[in-house]
Amino acid sequence: MPLLIRPETPADFPAIRALTADAFREAPHAAPPVDGTSDPGEAVLVEWLREDPGYLPGLALVAERDGTVVGHVMTTRGALDDGDAPSAPSLGLGPLSVIPSAQRQGVGAALLAATVDAAVLLGEPLIALLGDPGYYGRHGWVAASRHGIGAPDPAWGDYFQVRLLPAYDGERGAFRYAEPFSRFE
C-alpha cells in the first residue's frame, strides 16, 4: 500500500493525538501524563508545540495510508547558544509517532526522510533529536557531541543526536528546544 507524506491539517489533529498516545503508551521512556488523561505526555506536547512561536507548519508531517493517518512527526524551531554570538537557528525534531500496527514498515523512516528534505529546502543548518542511536544512526544521525553541540540535559549522552544539513556552517553550542519541551524537566 502506498504511503503519502504531507503536512498536517487541523482535520488530522484528533488522529494525531490518538496515534501519538498509542505510539508512546508502552514506550519505556515516555513522558508521564500531564493533562488529567492517561495519555503519555508526548500526545499533549504536540498540542503545546502547535501553540508555540517555534511551530513550523511545513515541518509537521503526517504519513497517510489508504486515507488513514498512521504516522506523524513534528519539527520545531530550536536554537544553538554558544555564549558569545546571538543564538543560531536550528531545528528540534520530536515527537515522531507511528501507530503500533504500522511500526517496522518504513513509516518512521519515510517521515524522517521527508523532514530532512523539507529542512534542506528551507535552508536549515541542522536538526537535533533525542532518540535511540541504533535506530536514528541508520538514517544519518550522529551524536551531537561529535560536532560540539550540547544536549539540553548532559545525561542524554549519545542519545542526543543531530543531522547536519548542507547549510550547516560549523555552528556549535548548547541546543535549546522550543519552550514546550522544558515543561517536562
Q: Cα dihedral sign for 24, 113, 110, 65? A: positive
Does residue 86 or residue 48 have the better pLDDT? 48
pLDDT at residue 86, as a whole number: 61
Contact 106, 69 (CB under 8 A): no
**For residue 81, pLDDT beyond 90:** no
Mean pLDDT, range 106-125, rounded to an integer: 96
**Stretch among 32-36, 98-102, 106-110, 173-177 having the lowest mean pLDDT:** 32-36
Sorted by sequence, the CB contacts under 8 Å of residue 86 that are 6+ apart come out as: none
**For residue 185, pLDDT beyond 80:** no
pLDDT at residue 26, as a whole number: 84
For 17-29, the pLDDT digits (tens) are 999 999 999 888 8
- Mean pLDDT score of the chain: 93
**For residue 40, pLDDT beyond 80:** yes
Contact 161, 128 (CB under 8 A): yes
For 124-183, the pLDDT digits (tens) are 999 999 999 999 999 999 999 999 999 999 999 999 999 999 999 999 999 999 999 998
pLDDT at residue 35, as a whole number: 86
pLDDT at residue 51, as a whole number: 97
Mean pLDDT, range 95-105, rounded to an integer: 91
Within a 13 Å sphere around the CA of 16, how many CA atoms are in the beta-carbon half? 22
* Joined grid coordinates for residue 66: 489508504
pLDDT band at 87 (very low <50, low <70, confident <90, very high): confident
pLDDT at residue 101, as a whole number: 87
